[in-house]
Structure 1
Amino acid sequence: METIIAIERAVLSSILYAPSIYEEVAAILSPKDFLYPTHKNVFEVMRECDALNLPLDAQIILQRSQGKVREDEIVEIASADSIANVEAYAKEIKESALKRELQELAMLLREKSLDSHSSAQEIMEVIEKRVSDIALGNTSGKGFIDAPTLAKETMQYLIDLKERGNEILTGVTTGFHELNEITTGFNSGDLIIIGARPSMGKTAFMLSIAQSILNADVGVAIFSLEMPALQLMIRLLSSLSSISMQNLRRGNLNDNELEQLSMYTDMMIHKKLFIDDGSVLNIAQLRSKLRKLKRQHPSVGIAMIDYLQLMVGDRNQGKQIEISDISRGLKTLARELEMPIIALSQLNRELERRDDKHPTLSDLRDSGAIEQDADMILFLYRDDVYKKRADRERKARLEKEGKAADFKAEYVERDVEPAELIVAKNRNGETRTIKLQFRKRFTRFENPETTQQEEQHDTKLDVDEIKSIISPY
């Protein structure tokens, strides 16, 4: 303890000796990081003087401390030996402060665990919030990058791109050709929002992307707050094997389909897919889980969340502020972990009242902050969903009026439906609407040319064909 107090005194003495280093220290420390109360008060006054453009000298600090600092104390600080590597010592003070906070947290945990009135869940929430607060308080930023360093790094980045042969992708593949062209893939640090109204296929689209990324040997982490992991895997296997979801759910499989399914299951066993289907998730938990997963499996290159509005924030602030905090937290986490994060999002139901039901940025539910934080915002739209719904409503109305015989369906059921992917925001590229196809039986989104090829060739491969396309492991 005496050692850290001596270091604090030396750092403050160095500032008095060379006030220009204050900014360097202030980028690392705040007053609460000092152990000795007098040192805390002195640094608080230094911060106040700096804000008011006042000199950082002993006399001014003594005058503005309003009795919190005695003359003998400021003399003791001023007479201490100054140090050369102030930044290193400031970081040592910060490290000591963080350890004290963790010690206090350990004491709080012990105290709460002995309190019979506190549930285990309440204790965990309190501890998680404190850990998150400590972690955020420790984020001091990377600091400035000077022009020579940045210019060299940028030039090397561009040379690397050229040597790769003008590739379309600089990030992980989206699985859709036209989307890859205008986005260069999902890039490190990107927050991608995929929004749609219910029944449009948000989860199916997310899994279609995940499937393409897994095929590129990149690991995928999925946080499913709505659907159990088993159901997600059934959807993936249906999409991979082209065996209908309905048959899979009923177990209505012939021997060939069962063997196909077994082959694709073996293929999935070797993929780096990780699904967390816990029903409660906040930013602190997400950060902790992803950090641990990345340490254990460095190949994980993207995280997906289904869906954003089910994440938990500070509910005392109101839903809009809660979602804003979550959105900001996701963007910060994407940059911190240097990986793209995809979050599915609900859209406001008011768009259902419009004649043109194509989503726009103003339809994002609960917060305009989502639009601000996201690097990319994609909307899914399938007109057939509304046509089918209109038929159902018209049929119900006619039956209620006793005119069921007058009903004639306008919607024609079809296995492959047209779909639109609206790129509404693309921070680093153009926006446009991309035409896709949705193959309903397998809940799979496809490039249009893929659908045309499959119409010319039976999509159900026999076992020998499957063996020929699956790489041996």
Structure 2
Amino acid sequence: MNDLVPSSSDTTSSQSITALLQRSPPANLAAEQALLGAILTNNKAYEHVSDFLHPSHFSDEINGRIYEAITRRIERGQLADPVTMRAEFEHSGILAGAGGPAYLAQLLNAMVGIVNAGDYGRVIHDCWIRRQLIDIGETVVNNAYGARTELDGTDQIAASEEALFKLATDKGQDGGFVSFERALTHALETAEQAFLRTGDIVGLTSGLRDFDKKTGGLHPSDLLILAGRPAMGKTALATKIAFSAAQAIMREAEDNNTPPKGSVAIFSLEMSAEQLATRILSEQSEVSGERIRRGDIGQKEFDRFVRVSRELQRLPLHIDDTPALSLSAMRTRCRRLARTKGLNLVVIDYLQLMRPAIGTRPESRVLEISMITQGLKAIAKELSVPVIALSQLSRQVESREDKRPMLSDLRESGSIEQDADLVMFVYRDEYYLQQRQPKETTFESPDKYQAALDDWQRKMAAIHNKAELIIEKQRHGPTGTVQLFFDGQYTRFSDLDTFHE
């Protein structure tokens, strides 16, 4: 019988929930009326709020419609005061729900001063943001209870982060025109940085001398596509660039005796963080990655391996190996890293393994890739960092005699080529020539076989340990080919010293 009687704790909980449900959403009607009265008294008050305040930000629908009508008239260059607006209000019936024309007098009486118009607008806007947060919170709770059964727990987290990100970026306070004077000043500052730095590099260094000379380094807001066929070394080259950028950030911090003012993020959707770290360790310690995995190393090599690993631990390099990561989750993680550690470079390996933003359902794979590349470009611009995305090439490369890639070889190439600021291909002729080694059984005589073998060996010697980085598109500079050195034993790219060859 006692089980049917609510306990005091149940009653208290029920009362708390009831009180929570009965709370009114954040709003400040007095501020809304004061702002409208200030604008109607002096239209210059509108200039203090026009860049961030929208009619939908008002909690009272009538006040929002009044603000919208005032906005339309002022934007047309016409006077908006109680006299000029009265006819429009009466014709549209906006004031009918607020008591008719008498409401205009109430607005004018509520006005305190046009100097405070900006403060009124910010109060109204802040209340709107908090109402949006309440809506997002309700959606999160409803989804968690199963309102959207197609989303699992991880997708719901990503969707929630996406909603918060959209609110943070679309809150109406960012964007707008930038004066040419300000843009010109920024351009001069960039040119000055290039002039003061050695090596003609204004952007972040890639660690590759000839590439930096051709591009000026890695520039903020740029989307760079690095593509190639399997076994060409895309991941190794991207890792080299990321590692060199992290080293540059660390060196600058050590020179100034300060903590690193940024970091490098690698999203490895194909390889695990451990595999990627092993590659970097192999390259820096000059111990073959294959031997590291087998444990086939001596004491001296192991000591060098440990020493190098301790040095690498200090680098501001972060690896996220979440498979099939969505664009919205990646964007949220980049923003979080930028806020907590600073962010200078983002590397994605590779974009065909990504998923579009949560909640979107592209009709085709081409459209899906288009949404992803547009999202990556948006991340580059919003965070003002270079973004390097690796990409696959179609198999049509293999059917040509000259297997050097072209823009048309990019999978779903239209959107990738369009959105990218720079498209480059990594190509190693040695890989293909190695597969064409002559076989003795295919020749009529030993002499012909030996002649073919000598010719093949001569060609192999000419291209041994050489790679090409083909810059096929560069929005802000020349195209062309950069010669690189490739050490297959350590999967390591570096500059090719042609003078001492």
Q: Same fold (TM over 0.5)?
A: yes
How far apart, in 1, do the equivalents of 2:370 and 2:326 lie? 13
How far apart, in 2, do the equivalents of 1:373 and 1:263 lie? 42
Deviates more, 1:237-246 or 1:221-230: 237-246
1:293 to 332, 337, 357: 337
Letter in 2 for 1:124: I
The two structures have a TM-score, normalised by structure 1, of: 0.80
Post-superposition offset of 1:172: 1.3
- Partner in structure 2 of residue 468 of structure 1: none
Letter in 1 for 2:315: K
2:85 to 58, 63, 84: 58
1:52-93 deviation digits (Å, cap 9, x = unpaired): 887655236426646586533455445542522544433332
1:316 to 361, 376, 384: 361
- Partner in structure 1 of residue 392 of structure 2: 346
User: Per the alignment, in what secondary structure is the counterpart of residue 305 of structure 1?
Assistant: strand
- Partner in structure 2 of residue 248 of structure 1: 292
Aligned positions, number? 441
5 Å-filtered alignment, 1:69-88, equals 70=97, 71-72=100-101, 73=103, 76-77=106-107, 80-81=110-111, 83-88=114-119
How far apart, in 1, do the equivalents of 2:219 and 2:300 lie? 40
User: Per the alignment, in what secondary structure is the counterpart of residue 186 of structure 1?
Assistant: coil
- Partner in structure 1 of residue 255 of structure 2: none
Post-superposition offset of 1:127: 1.9
Distance 1:125 1:387, change over 3 A: same
How far apart, in 2, do the equivalents of 1:241 and 1:278 lie? 27
How far apart, in 2, do the equivalents of 1:450 and 1:252 lie? 34
User: Per the alignment, in what secondary structure is the counterpart of residue 84 of structure 1?
Assistant: helix
Residue identity over aligned pairs, in percent, reads 31
User: Per the alignment, in what secondary structure is the counterpart of residue 223 of structure 1?
Assistant: strand
How far apart, in 2, do the equivalents of 1:308 and 1:98 lie? 34
How far apart, in 2, do the equivalents of 1:21 and 1:197 lie? 60
- Partner in structure 2 of residue 109 of structure 1: 140
Deviates more, 1:236-245 or 1:202-211: 236-245
- Partner in structure 2 of residue 441 of structure 1: 489
1:276 to 309, 315, 320: 320
How far apart, in 2, do the equivalents of 1:364 and 1:343 lie? 13
Post-superposition offset of 1:316: 1.0
Letter in 1 for 2:305: L
State whether residues 344 and 386 of structure 2, in contact with CA within 8 Å, keep that contact through their aligned partners in structure 1. yes
Distance 1:97 1:274, change over 3 A: same
Distance 1:227 1:296, change over 3 A: same
Letter in 2 for 1:58: M
Distance 1:29 1:281, change over 3 A: farther
State whether residues 351 and 389 of structure 2, in contact with CA within 8 Å, keep that contact through their aligned partners in structure 1. yes
State whether residues 227 and 426 of structure 2, in contact with CA within 8 Å, keep that contact through their aligned partners in structure 1. yes
5 Å-filtered alignment, 1:137-286, equals 137-138=170-171, 140-162=173-195, 164=196, 167-218=199-250, 219-286=263-330
- Partner in structure 2 of residue 386 of structure 1: 432
Find the structure with the greater CA-based Rg. Answer: 2
1:12 to 15, 33, 36: 36
State whether residues 203 and 217 of structure 2, in contact with CA within 8 Å, keep that contact through their aligned partners in structure 1. yes
State whether residues 29 and 59 of structure 2, in contact with CA within 8 Å, keep that contact through their aligned partners in structure 1. yes
Post-superposition offset of 1:210: 2.0
Distance 1:156 1:443, change over 3 A: closer
1:258-301 deviation digits (Å, cap 9, x = unpaired): 22212211221222221111114233322332233233323x42
- Partner in structure 2 of residue 469 of structure 1: none
How far apart, in 1, do the equivalents of 2:26 and 2:158 lie? 35
Corresponding position: 1:371 with 2:398: no
Post-superposition offset of 1:179: 0.9
State whether residues 42 and 61 of structure 1, in contact with CA within 8 Å, keep that contact through their aligned partners in structure 2. no
The two structures have a TM-score, normalised by structure 2, of: 0.76
1:207-251 deviation digits (Å, cap 9, x = unpaired): 111232233244321111111001001111111122223222222
Post-superposition offset of 1:377: 1.8
1:367-407 deviation digits (Å, cap 9, x = unpaired): 5333333222221122233344567xx99xx9xxxxxxx9x
State whether residues 14 and 86 of structure 1, in contact with CA within 8 Å, keep that contact through their aligned partners in structure 2. yes
5 Å-filtered alignment, 1:88-107, equals 88-107=119-138
Post-superposition offset of 1:178: 1.2
Distance 1:161 1:180, change over 3 A: closer
How far apart, in 2, do the equivalents of 1:111 and 1:248 lie? 50
Corresponding position: 1:38 with 2:77: no
Post-superposition offset of 1:449: 1.3
Corresponding position: 1:131 with 2:164: yes
State whether residues 194 and 200 of structure 2, in contact with CA within 8 Å, keep that contact through their aligned partners in structure 1. no
How far apart, in 2, do the equivalents of 1:169 and 1:324 lie? 31
How far apart, in 2, do the equivalents of 1:381 and 1:212 lie? 21
Letter in 2 for 1:59: R
Post-superposition offset of 1:147: 4.3
- Partner in structure 1 of residue 347 of structure 2: 304
State whether residues 425 and 469 of structure 2, in contact with CA within 8 Å, keep that contact through their aligned partners in structure 1. yes
How far apart, in 1, do the equivalents of 2:305 and 2:403 lie? 38
Post-superposition offset of 1:145: 3.4
Letter in 1 for 2:488: K
How far apart, in 2, do the equivalents of 1:351 and 1:66 lie? 67
How far apart, in 2, do the equivalents of 1:49 and 1:311 lie? 47
Distance 1:5 1:143, change over 3 A: same
How far apart, in 2, do the equivalents of 1:333 and 1:60 lie? 47
- Partner in structure 1 of residue 258 of structure 2: none
Distance 1:284 1:117, change over 3 A: closer
State whether residues 162 and 329 of structure 2, in contact with CA within 8 Å, keep that contact through their aligned partners in structure 1. no
Query: What RMSD over aligned residues (CA atoms) do the two structures have, in Å?
Result: 3.5
Note the residue ranges of structure 2 that are not aligned, 5 or more in a row: 1-24, 251-262, 443-448
State whether residues 201 and 380 of structure 1, in contact with CA within 8 Å, keep that contact through their aligned partners in structure 2. yes
State whether residues 193 and 202 of structure 2, in contact with CA within 8 Å, keep that contact through their aligned partners in structure 1. no
Letter in 1 for 2:428: R
